[in-house]
Amino acid sequence: MTTQTAAKPADTAAAKPKLVTFHRLVPNARLPQRADRSAAGSLPTRAFRYCEAATSAAGFGYYIFPPIGFSIQWDGHDMMWTFEGAGEWLPLTSAQFPGFRDYFAGIAPEEIKDFSPPFIGALQEPGLIQLWTGIVARTAPGWSLLVRAPANLPRAGGYEHFEGIIETDRWFGPLITNLRLTKTDSPIHFKPDYPLLQVQPLPRTVYEDATLNNYELVPDLAQFTPEDWDDYYDTVVRPNVQVVRPRGQYAAAARKRRAAEEAGGGGS
């Protein structure tokens, strides 16, 4: 008679595929980390305590950092760049991460060793650059990564992010971003300890046309239904007519509902 041993919870968790796996290719680069509900401590205390909308957005996803400190300068036509230890400004067309080409070639299989990804490059359009984070990401089947500016963090200034959605369950290549430079004739600095990107996992179904085309427009206030007015009253009016109005009612309700859902109670 054979006795079967039930799998331990830890074994089950280990067998479950990870939602996101980050592979660091550039040695010593700062590893990605969970985004912080306080926006790395930058949210005002009142917003952190009572604004669930802001904290949920800030904590949704993972921070990605530059693999090295570097600076770019653009005169409206040509770009120059420098990095920690360079000691000089260099023309920017396309450049490898310092020392990475040899490091990659020493580890990669023979047929791959000449294909190390570039670190930074000036695009054809004026003022645009493409930057590699030193990371390759893989997501669970059916999931993609939204690549965007960090949510609710103060912007460093001098550049803007292009947002992109990468099907990282199929694309196992460099996690890159495109940036638009917004000032000329002065250095734009990128710090290795300050988040450059926030990547947010999305199930592919949420941005498919079949999903996004499923919407309705109600063009006039007179078309509110009795249920709409009831919901508006509960959301907007009731808190303002309470004799004693506790702060952060939305935040408290959202946290209570989330705790119930995580405990399997479903919430209501």
Judgement on whether residues 164 and 31 belong to the same structural domain of the protein: yes
Residue 267 is predicted with a pLDDT of: 46
Judgement on whether residues 204 and 236 belong to the same structural domain of the protein: no
Residue 240 is predicted with a pLDDT of: 82
Is 92 domain-assigned? yes
Q: Which residues span the domain enclosing 246?
A: 218-262
Residue 255 is predicted with a pLDDT of: 64
Judgement on whether residues 84 and 207 belong to the same structural domain of the protein: yes
Tokens representing residue 244 in the block: 């004693």
Judgement on whether residues 189 and 77 belong to the same structural domain of the protein: yes
Judgement on whether residues 201 and 226 belong to the same structural domain of the protein: no
Is 1 domain-assigned? no
Is 3 domain-assigned? no
Judgement on whether residues 196 and 149 belong to the same structural domain of the protein: yes
Q: Which residue has the tokens 């990401």?
A: 137
Residue 3 is predicted with a pLDDT of: 46
For the chain, the DSSP string reads -PPPPPPPHHHHHHHSPPSEEEEE-STTPPPPEEPPTTTTTTS-HHHHHH-HHHHHHHTSSEEE--SS-EEEEE-SS-EEEEETTT-S-EE-SEEPPTTHHHHHHHHS-TTTTT-PPPSEEE-SSTTEEEEEEEEEEEE-TTEEEEEESPTTPPP-SSEEEPPEEE-TTT--SEEEEEEEE---SS-EEE-TTS--EEEEEEEGGGGSHHHHT-------GGG--HHHHHHHIIIIIHHHH-SS--TTHHHHHHHHHHHHHHTTS---
Residue 247 is predicted with a pLDDT of: 62
Is 2 domain-assigned? no
Judgement on whether residues 88 and 162 belong to the same structural domain of the protein: yes
Judgement on whether residues 68 and 108 belong to the same structural domain of the protein: yes
What residues contact 9, with CB distance under 8 A and at least 6 apart?
A: none
Judgement on whether residues 206 and 226 belong to the same structural domain of the protein: no
Total number of residues shown for the chain:
268
Tokens representing residue 115 in the block: 């294909």
Contact 196, 29 (CB under 8 A): no
Number of structural domains the chain divides into: 2
Phi, psi at residue 7, to the nearest 5°? -65, 135
Domain containing 98 — which CATH number? 2.70.40.10
Q: Average pLDDT for consecutive 10-residue bins of the chain (268 residues)? A: 50 73 96 94 89 94 97 96 96 96 97 97 96 98 97 91 97 97 96 96 97 97 97 90 65 66 60
Judgement on whether residues 241 and 144 belong to the same structural domain of the protein: no
Residue 248 is predicted with a pLDDT of: 60
Is 9 domain-assigned? no
Residue 1 is predicted with a pLDDT of: 44
Judgement on whether residues 58 and 156 belong to the same structural domain of the protein: yes
Is 6 domain-assigned? no
Judgement on whether residues 198 and 234 belong to the same structural domain of the protein: no
What residues contact 178, with CB distance under 8 A and at least 6 apart?
A: 123, 128, 129, 130, 131, 161, 162, 164
